[in-house]
Structure 1
């Protein structure tokens, strides 16, 4: 086992999780219900959920040293970014702004795929 990878996993997931939990506890009941509906929506799960899950696989991969986790991470990130691009295009007020968002999503996808190699 790689101790550095375990420390990185704890820091990269533990600190944000603690901060989100603390912020959730400070919310009113209405804000909590709004957050629950937003997080469980199909759009959120298909975009941000897949991207976040891909980062979890990427952080866990050095611990178990299984290269297929990188492949799964790349696939999940790709699907998440493509679905995000489709939602950007469908919900944009201006197609010019949508193209900027799509181009930045594709650049992020290219950088991510390059980085995991």
Structure 2
């Protein structure tokens, strides 16, 4: 096992998860219901959820050293970004804002492909 990968996983997932859990406990019941509704929506799961799951696979892959996890993470990341681009383009009133977000997502996608050799 790779100790550096375990430390990276704990730092990049554990600390944000703890901070989100702590803030969730401070919320009122109405705010908690809004968070549950947002996190379980189809749009959230098909965009941010897939990208996040892809990143988790990238963080876990060095620990178990299973090569197919990189492929799965790339596929999930790609699908999440493409769905995000399409949904952004359809929902935004100003196409200029949609173009800026699309360029940002394409840059993120190219960085993923560049680093995931």
Partner of 1:100: 100
Partner of 2:32: 32
Deviations 1:9-41 (A, max 9, x none): 111111000000000000000000000000000
Dislocated runs of 4+, deviation >2 Å: none
Equivalent pairs, count: 117
Secondary structure, in 3 states, of the residue corresponding to 2:32? helix
Instruction: Provide the rounded CA distance (Å) in 2 between the counterparts of 1:106 and 1:4.
Output: 29
TM-score, length basis structure 1: 0.97
Q: Which moved more, 1:26-35 or 1:6-15?
A: 6-15
Partner of 1:57: 57
Deviations 1:68-115 (A, max 9, x none): 101100000000000000111011111121111111111110111111
Partner of 1:112: 112
Where does structure 1 lack aligned partners over 5 or more consecutive residues? Answer: none
Where does structure 2 lack aligned partners over 5 or more consecutive residues? Answer: none
TM-score, length basis structure 2: 0.97
Q: CA RMSD in A?
A: 0.7
Partner of 1:11: 11
